[in-house]
Amino acid sequence: MSAPAGPGAGGAPPRAALLAAAMERHRRGALDEAAGLYRRVLALDPRDFDALHMLGVVAAQGGAHGDAIALLSSAAAERPSSARARFNLAGALMGAGRLREAIAALDEAIAIDPAHAAAWSNRGICLMRLNEAEEAGRSHARAAALEPHAPEPRFNRSQALLVAGRLAEAWPDYEARLRTAELAPFARHGDVARWDGGPCEGRRILLHAEQGMGDTIHFARYAPLVARRGAQVVLEVQAPLASLLARVDGVAEVVAQDARRPPVDLACPLPSLPLAFATTLATIPAPGGYLPVDPARLASWRERLGPRRGPRVALAWRGSAAHRNDANRSIGLARLAPHLPPGIEVLSLQKEIGAEDAAALRAIPGARDLSAELRDFDDSAALCALADRVACVDTSLAHLAGALGRPVDVLLPFAPDWRWLLGRGDSPWYASATLHRQDAPGDWSAALASLARSLAALARDAG
């Protein structure tokens, strides 16, 4: 690294030259070099706003939230008129989970600059994490009004409306999802005319999966409604779901996502179907279930499981590690296992099991690890049908059990996915579901105690 210019080099004073060099390194992503130069500026002037501010930003980018908060607090104190310093301080506080303080910093930023759209957006995100959906929706609406062409504020607003149960208001904004940086890669079949719920009799309509497999199961309930409009439904889904969803009423043809697209007249992403049907909480289709089990798989698994040793509970405690919220929604089996009552027969449907979870599973008397025998979702569906209850975190198994109409206990993080709504123990999407919620972020105690009561009642009734 070349040394910054010294005194007399182009007339630049040492501090200004160091700061310029630091910001250049920062823009290139050389964070360690930039941090070293910012510190040299602060050695010359410990109150330099730009060095304090940008070193705080570097710390936040590196995940050192405590250091970032200290530096950015100092920067904000040095320049009370800086909305940007307070915005970045709020970001560090969010990273540290100090959400109330983050909201206070964002409110200060907004007081300085009421048109700071990103501050309104982050305020909404903080409020969503605190389950204050109505106020979050208002913050996201302000952001959307300030940036009417940006998709993220509209999509964020839809999440707040959905989790608050205001479905009809949410669906139009939910369409902005496929223009966001996160979900735009999921957009497909843009060359086919979009079906928006209009006349479709005699037309071939491609209903295609978009996000995770749980989402695909969740929205497959709409295929029969499209068929009843007189359309021929072609369903495009992830390959592991193809045989399972081929049995949904009204589906004429199923293709895997990696297969060649058959001839169709119209197309619609599965998550856009609630908008096409103007779905409200009162009009959610088929909450009692809409998936039949493959009789051959059912018979095969009944024979393989053999005689019952007690009430059967199909269990899964982790979702995909690739999911952006997996750290909040998954739980270690060692934490869950003590809440399983004696006398039940545990059928583990967990697909990927690490060493620690494997040891915890072996310690559960009579538990059966079936992960190696699960070829696709038809196997999981048969086992759900043969279990007295399913107990799982918010992953595709929860949707599978609900779509089958099987009793399912779902463990939910404090701030849940929108479809589970807030503050209720049941689900309008799945009539057979019982929801067990964290009552504080990261604290599973209340949810696990609630699950234990549900499973204890199952064991007691069976006895």
Q: Distance between CA 427 and CA 288 in Å, rounded?
A: 11
Reported as half-sphere exposure (CB side, CA atoms, 13 A), residue 231 has a value of 27
Residue 443 DSSP code: B
pLDDT of residue 463: 60
pLDDT mean across residues, the chain: 94
Would you state the pLDDT for residue 324?
77
Beta strands in 229-375 (DSSP E): 232-237, 251-256, 266-269, 312-316, 345-348, 368-369
Decide if pLDDT at 62 tops 70: yes
Task: Read off the pLDDT band of 13 (50, 70, 90).
Answer: low
Task: Say whether pLDDT at 105 is over 50.
Answer: yes
Integer Cα distance of 62 and 19 in angstroms? 20
Tell which residue, 268, 262, 190, has the closest CA to residue 225.
Answer: 268
Residues 138-169: tens digit of each pLDDT: 999 999 999 999 999 999 999 999 999 999 99
* SS3 state at 314: strand
Q: By the 8 A CB rule, do 336 and 449 touch?
A: no
Whether residue 41 has pLDDT greater than 60: yes
Gyration radius from the chain CA atoms: 26
The reported pLDDT for the residue numbered 15 is 86
Q: Report whether pLDDT(244) > 90.
A: yes
Q: Report phi then psi at 327, rounded to 5.
A: -60, -30
Give the orientation angle of helix 83-95 with respect to helix 65-78, to 10 degrees. Answer: 160
**Confidence class of residue 325 from pLDDT cuts 50, 70 and 90?**
confident
Q: How confident is the model at residue 1 (pLDDT cuts 50, 70, 90)?
A: very low
Cα 438 to Cα 103, 333, 411, 446, distances in angstroms: 22, 16, 8, 6
Position 7 pLDDT exceeds 50: no
Three-state DSSP state, 270: helix
Instruction: Identify residue 340 by its one-letter amino acid code.
Output: L
Domains, the chain, in order of start with CATH, read 14-182 (1.25.40.10), 188-283 (3.40.50), 295-462 (3.40.50.2000)
* pLDDT over threshold 80, residue 12: no
- Model confidence band, residue 3 (pLDDT cutoffs 50, 70, 90): very low
* Mean pLDDT for the stretch of residues 249-264: 96
